[in-house]
Structure 1
Amino acid sequence: MLDIFTDILDRTDLKHIHSLIEQDSFVDGRKTAGFRAKQVKKNEQMDSGSDAKKELNKLVIDRLMASTEFQRFAFPKKIRPPLISRYNPGMEYGYHVDDALMGKNPKTRTDISVTVFLNNPDDYEGGELEMDSPFGPQTIKLPAGCAVAYPSLTLHRVAPVTKGERLVAVTWLESYIRDPHKREILRDLDLVRRALHKSKKDAPETDLAFKSYANLQRMWSET
């Protein structure tokens, strides 16, 4: 299940992020790629050890975790420090699947991949995030401050940038609900229970919807 979040970063956040990016240097993006991904990855990433990068990481994570809709979608347990990626003309990231485990001591299982867009679509040409699906490729290119989240098991790529500069923050999280199909069921049921709470607050079926949601979450959660 793919979902889009339109209000992760506001104008003040974006202005501050761009000032932090201007303070820092970028390195070859292949430095953080997995064995196969190194062959198809051609971008640059913000220096992971800098103070500016640490501040930027905290801001992006704080905003994601503060989003009620993101919480309802992802059931986040652990979230990885974001990578700040830059694509200039000629850069791309070919089809790949994100590593199943990232970091160390302990490793984080990657259940959900997240891309937060840091500049607007008219700032660059190309650079679409393209995901494979049973219904054909899905193409995503969102305004600055918006995010897209999708199962990390998805085959995906970033199309070549032909003009301008593409800036994104990319992160991964481990979810309390590992199975994407179960997360989708819970998301659907959450919409139902909230609608019932609004229209039939005291009805028995409203209580049953809340009961079912809680018990499924209890049954499927991995702590």
Structure 2
Amino acid sequence: MLCVIEGLLSTEEAGQVRHRLRGGQWQDGRSTAGALAQQVKSNQQLAPADPLAQQLGEQILARLGQHALFTSAALPEKIYPPRFNRYANGGRYGTHVDGAMMVLPGSGELLRSDLSATLFLSPADEYEGGELIIETEFGAQQVKLNAGDLVLYPSSSLHQVAAVTRGERVAAFFWVQSMVRDAAQRSLLFDLDQSIQALAGKLGVDDAEVLRLNGVYHNLLRGWGL
């Protein structure tokens, strides 16, 4: 399932983050890539331990925790702290798949990457190229969103970032371990939850059928979760 979450940050908030990132200590992005990915990766990143990256990442995590659509789609159990990257002057990231297991900074716990996320920070009209191209069961999907919008997609997907031929593309990215490991089950729960929310808005939260469906949702989550 590919899910676009519009306006996670407002345009102004995304601009403020971008402004602060201009003073960051950018490094060669290949330093954090595996042996195969190093051969197709050409970008810059902030080091995970960079204080600026940590502060901005905490702000994004706080916003995610308040966002109902993100919670519904991801059912997050663990989130890898957001990182930041920049593409310019032909920078790109060729076709790759994200690592399956990651060590969470600070805790040493393992995170299984069920979902990958990209939060676009640069206005789409300020750079050319830079599309996030995700291989799905319906073919390759090109994603280029407005500043402040986020896309969530399975970490198992082959994906790439097209070369940026004008301007620069700045983004945050992170991974999620979901309470529901199976992607098909997670997608069904998302559709069911969204339908319940829509029906509750029309019929009221105390409607008998809304309550029945809400019970079905939670019993499925109880059976499929963790």
How does the TM-score come out when normalised to structure 1? 0.94
List gaps (5 residues or longer) in structure 1: none
Q: Contact 2:115–2:155 (CA<8 Å) still a contact in 1?
A: yes
Task: Write the letter of the residue equivalent to 1:210.
Answer: N
- Corresponding residue for 2:73? 73
- Corresponding residue for 2:225? 221
Cα distance in structure 1, aligned partners of 2:211 and 2:129 = 48
Q: Contact 1:20–1:53 (CA<8 Å) still a contact in 2?
A: no
Q: Contact 2:122–2:170 (CA<8 Å) still a contact in 1?
A: yes
1:155 equivalent to 2:158? Answer: yes
Q: Contact 1:85–1:167 (CA<8 Å) still a contact in 2?
A: yes
Cα distance in structure 1, aligned partners of 2:94 and 2:13 = 30
- Structure 2 counterparts to residues 35-54 of structure 1, below 5 A: 35-54=35-54
Rate the CA distance shift 1:206–1:103 in 2: closer, same or farther, 3 A: same
How does the TM-score come out when normalised to structure 2? 0.93
* Stretch of structure 1 that moved more, 65-74 or 100-109: 100-109
1:181 equivalent to 2:174? Answer: no
* Pairwise CA distance, 1:203: 4.5
Cα distance in structure 1, aligned partners of 2:123 and 2:196 = 35
Pairwise CA RMSD: 1.4
- Corresponding residue for 1:24? 24
Identical residues among aligned pairs (%)? 39
Cα distance in structure 1, aligned partners of 2:66 and 2:199 = 25
Cα distance in structure 2, aligned partners of 1:108 and 1:167 = 25
Query: Deviation digits for residues 97-118 of structure 1, max 9, x if unmatched?
Result: 0000012522111011000001
List gaps (5 residues or longer) in structure 2: none
- Corresponding residue for 1:99? 99
* Pairwise CA distance, 1:129: 0.3
Task: Write the letter of the residue equivalent to 1:114.
Answer: A
Query: Deviation digits for residues 40-76 of structure 1, max 9, x if unmatched?
Result: 1111001332221111111121122221110111011
1:207 equivalent to 2:193? Answer: no
Cα distance in structure 1, aligned partners of 2:139 and 2:67 = 30
* Pairwise CA distance, 1:12: 4.1
Provide the secondary structure at the position in 2 that maps to 1:137: strand
